[in-house]
Structure 1
Amino acid sequence: MARFGIDTELALGIRNAELRPLARKIRRNHERALDLWQTGIREARLLACFSDEPTKVTVDQAWAWVAEFNSWEVVDHAAALFVEAELHDAIIEPFAADEREFVRRAGFATMAWGAVHLKKHPDSVMLAWLPLIERHAKDQRNFVKKAVNWALRQIGKRSLGLHEPALALAEKLAASDDRTERWIGKDAVKELTAPKTFDRLAAKAKKA
């Protein structure tokens, strides 16, 4: 885990492949999830993310949790919970504006998950996130730039309607003089112009 940049100071070494089935077995419980989070233990916090009740997760809880983030892994799974709780409108912009590395990552991880899982929301929701991606694409910190890139790719792969503006932004970043913007843009262009991406989007459009 340490090799992949995961904080192991309070880790037990239990794999996610074991934690997820456990979460399904114990079912969702909000109060228990809050208690699990308070332990500070990696696996307990992941289990909290997997088994909390989305309808009871609040913006205050999201802020309390992000203030204690110390690992990208926990960030990303908590962001998935925030999307389930439909907190995206309230947290993405302020999280992205926050200078703390893992809080900013949480904003873009929430974008990435939202682009995939907010299926009933119009594309205009994700379109409004592109300016935030451009605004923070110069952040050189590893865990931020990778999340910015992740969000851009996921938005571009959501639909044909979003593909064009996301690709246009990716190409703009790829041509930048800034090294971080260039890396984010080039990597996104590579995936967004891949034949399999076009095929999947075309197939999705036919089903719509």
Structure 2
Amino acid sequence: MKEIMSELQSYPSEKYKENVVRLGIPRESSMGVPMISIRKMARKVNKNNQLAWQLWETDYHEAKLLATFLSEVNKLTYQDINRLMSDVILWDLCDHLCKELIFKLHNYLEFVLEWVKSSKIYYKCAAFTLIATSVIHEKDIHTETMNVYLSLISNYSQDSHVHVKKAVAWALREIGKRNFEDNKKALQLAYEFKSSDDKAQIWIGKNVIKKIAGVIKVTERLISANTKTGKTQK
């Protein structure tokens, strides 16, 4: 533990520290270690939950990020995940917890269904981050599951916090990038948001339309209607 903390403290970057302080991390909780250095360290250390918890409890932002890479996912309990989430005060730690740990749990969808209803900012962010991560990495998502994701986005997107709005928009954009059918569903919902009375949904709708409205058109131009692939998309 002492050796790891000493190594972490040997990679200071004042520029990185100023960036995370601007994002909301207290100056005293940041060592100024760039993510590239944290990833490099993680590759050299065996996963170990005891070590990961020790790093997490130092309360240093970079030590917590390193802990997400060193945790043994298959040994984490429901209580462990909620304990970790309760300490999250910044979006990048939320993102790393979701992508490096929670998404790798077989029952991660249970957390999505629970947290999407939460009044706590980063629990809600985590729910939509997990949806986006699922859409990106799982190639065979059933239509029923995708419809559940769209329903959750529709029902729980009225949140004005900037990090929640961005997480919702990310999830909807990733759905819209998957294929023709999902693109249409995502755009339909985005246009509904754009014409709604809720400011958060209006922002999300405009963001998603701007980013994915041309995706299906570009794909259609690239896939000739005379090819087998093109015919299947008609």
TM-score, with length taken from structure 2: 0.78
- Which amino acid counterpart does residue 46 of structure 1 have in structure 2? L
Q: Which residue in 2 is equivalent to 1:35?
A: 54
Q: Which residue in 1 is equivalent to 2:70?
A: 51
CA distance in 2, matches of 1:86, 1:25: 26
Q: Select the residue among 101, 105, 110 that pairs with 2:121.
A: 101
CA distance in 1, matches of 2:32, 2:143: 39
Q: Which residue in 2 is equivalent to 1:178?
A: 198
Identify which of structures 1 and 2 has the higher relative contact order when contacts are C-alpha pairs closer than 8 Å and 6+ apart.
1
Q: Which residue in 2 is equivalent to 1:154?
A: 174
- Which amino acid counterpart does residue 99 of structure 1 have in structure 2? S
8 Å CA contact 1:8, 1:42 repeated in 2: no
- Which amino acid counterpart does residue 69 of structure 2 have in structure 1? F
Q: CA RMSD in A?
A: 2.4
8 Å CA contact 2:25, 2:90 repeated in 1: yes
Give the structure with higher Rg (CA).
2
- Which amino acid counterpart does residue 51 of structure 1 have in structure 2? L
Query: Cα gap change, 1:122/1:66 in structure 2, threshold over 3 Å: closer, same or farther?
Result: same
8 Å CA contact 2:81, 2:102 repeated in 1: yes
SS in 1 for 2:154: helix
**1:152 CA displacement:** 1.0
SS in 2 for 1:74: helix
Q: Which runs of 4+ in 1 moved over 6 A?
A: none
TM-score, with length taken from structure 1: 0.87
**1:168 CA displacement:** 1.1
Is there any run of 5+ residues in structure 2 with no aligned partner, and where? Answer: 1-18, 224-228, 230-234
8 Å CA contact 1:34, 1:48 repeated in 2: yes
Identical residues among aligned pairs (%):
29
| Aligned residues between the structures | 204
